[in-house]
């Protein structure tokens, strides 16, 4: 399995709109086992995203999906910065289905 955990900052006042874009159409990403978007309670502009994929190749392929390309284009003007980005190797846990 392949995973990512990242923190991004929305432009001031744009966090909820950015979250809505990030959550739209996420059910049709082949190989995606988990995709979680969370507000940072200590920072009104920060968003944490955690992803688990069956492979790094599936994640790369998702970036070419029309729905993902569209979301990136819509979201880009609302993103102030990417603060953290970590690649991880998920092993398992509650709510995480095994790679198919």
The four Cα atoms 25, 27, 28, 32 give a dihedral, to 10 degrees, of 120
Q: In this model, does residue 96 exceed pLDDT 70?
A: yes
Please state the pTM of the whole predicted model: 0.86
Run of H or E residues at 83:
strand 79-88
Fold adopted by 2-88: Alpha-Beta Plaits (3.30.70)
In angstroms, the CA 92 to CA 9 distance is 28
End-to-end C-alpha distance for the chain, whole angstroms:
10
pLDDT tens profile 2-61? 999 999 999 999 999 999 999 987 778 899 999 999 999 999 999 999 999 999 999 999
Q: State the burial class of residue 33 (Cβ atoms within 10 Å of its Cβ: 0-12, 13-18, 19+).
A: buried
What is the per-residue pLDDT for 98?
Answer: 59
What is the per-residue pLDDT for 25?
Answer: 72
């Amino acid at each position: 399995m392949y995973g990512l955990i990242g923190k991004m900052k929305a432009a001031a006042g744009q966090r909820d709109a950015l979250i809505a874009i990030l959550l739209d159409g996420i059910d049709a990403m082949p190989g995606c086992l988990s995709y979680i978007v969370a507000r940072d309670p200590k920072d009104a502009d920060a968003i944490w995203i955690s992803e688990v994929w069956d492979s790094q190749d599936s994640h790369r392929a998702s970036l070419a999906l029309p729905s993902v390309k569209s979301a990136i284009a819509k979201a880009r003007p609302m993103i102030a910065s990417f603060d953290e980005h970590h690649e991880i190797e998920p092993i398992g846990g509650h709510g995480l289905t095994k790679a198919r």
